[in-house]
Amino acid sequence: MDLELRSKTAVVTGASIGIGRAVAKALALEGVRVVAVARRKDLIEKLAREVQAEGGAAVIPLTQDIMQENAAKTLAAAATAELGHVDILINNAGAMFGSRQVAEGLERTFALNHVAYFVLAHVLRERLVASAPARVVNTASDAHRGARLDFDDLQSAAAYRGSVGEWLRHGGPGFKVYGRSKLCNILFTRELARRLTGTGVTANSLHPGFVATRFGDQSGGLISFGVRVAKRFALSPQQGAETLIYLASSREVAGVTGEYFHKCRPATPTREARDDASARRLWTATAALAHLED
């Protein structure tokens, strides 16, 4: 971290465990006021106490299930009312589910991993622009490799009806749908960066690596079992947080926007993830689903 961060304010989603917690704590210990967003109030309050005991800046817990349609809007209003300005938005919350689940008309993987990112960035845009230079960092994944979007089925109803052979090729329907959501993250980031051109706000996405967190634990069945085995060889949350912290706080990327990073370096996503026409189309479709202006 080589920026002057003590006057900054960051919103970090998925801040109760894993990568999000590591990022929130690291920023707060550098003097950033952090709005820590998660569903578990007890865990983010524990984080706030830890940071206070270590002499860091304020960690403001906000308990919110951002999968709910109006939650991101409520969260953004609460954050800005509390703090007045937002300099850094880190969209990090994410999950993978082994079966198709729908809440308030949205498939849960798509809602949490993509729509919530979109809505938060949309609602906080004015605050970010007013605070410029400001940054948006979106946690994507190399799980996007091999994924393709079906604009007639963005919420993946068909993916969960595939044959056993198709499921095995993709590691199960949950992995396939998760990969699509991570492709959405990269495309959304590219289009957001384009729309923020000239405002002083940058937007970048990243692959954090495979990290030993609670990710995948709620998927159920073979997915949860496979993830638990793989975690034996995974990165620590602190290691996984490094690229997020770099994108939020390094002078090296002050003017970089619309890019995809891995290990604190630019990386090349798939051709599908670099398709600007798809990025614009996804933006329009997501705005309609979220009942927001395009």
Residue 294 domain-assigned (yes or no): no
DSSP 70-138: THHHHHHHHHHHHHS--SEEEE------SS--EETTEEHHHIIIIIHHHHHHHHHHHHHHHT-SEEEEE
Mean pLDDT, rounded, of the chain = 86
Q: Is the pLDDT of residue 229 over 50?
A: no
Would you say residue 291 lies in a domain?
Answer: no
Q: Which residues pair with 135 in a beta bridge?
A: 88, 202
Condensed to tens digits (0 to 9), the pLDDT of residues 67-118 reads: 665 666 677 677 667 667 899 999 999 988 878 888 878 899 999 999 999 9
- With a cut of 90, say whether residue 260 has pLDDT above it: yes
Confidence of residue 243 (pLDDT cuts 50, 70, 90): very high
Residue 4 domain-assigned? no
Q: How many angstroms separate the CA atoms of 172 and 164, rounded? A: 8
**Domain membership flag for residue 15:** yes
Distance (Å, whole) CA 284 – CA 289 = 9
Residue 204 within any structural domain of the chain: yes
Domain containing residue 228: 9-286
Is residue 158 a contact partner of residue 180, using CB atoms and an 8 Å limit?
Answer: no
Q: Among 89, 151, 182, which Cα is nearest to 280's?
A: 151
Q: Does residue 292 fall inside a structural domain?
A: no
What's the CA gap between 28 and 56, in Å, rounded?
5
| Domains held by the chain: number | 1
Known catalytic residue at 246: no
Q: What is the pLDDT of residue 69?
A: 58
pLDDT of residue 39: 87
- Cβ pair 139, 89 in contact under 8 A: no
- CATH number of 88's domain: 3.40.50.720
Mean pLDDT of 178-185: 97
pTM of the entire predicted model: 0.89
Q: Which of 117, 178, 246, 260 is catalytic?
A: 178
Whether pLDDT at 227 is above 80: no
Using alpha carbons, select from 167, 154, 216, 194 the residue that is nearest to residue 274.
Answer: 194
Which residues have C-beta within 8 Å of that of residue 167, sequence separation ≥ 6? 173, 176
CA distances from 200 to 33, 70, 87, 247, 272 (A): 21, 28, 11, 15, 27
Tokens 């082994």 locate to 98
pLDDT surpassing 90 at residue 144:
yes
Q: Confirm whether 124 is domain-assigned.
A: yes
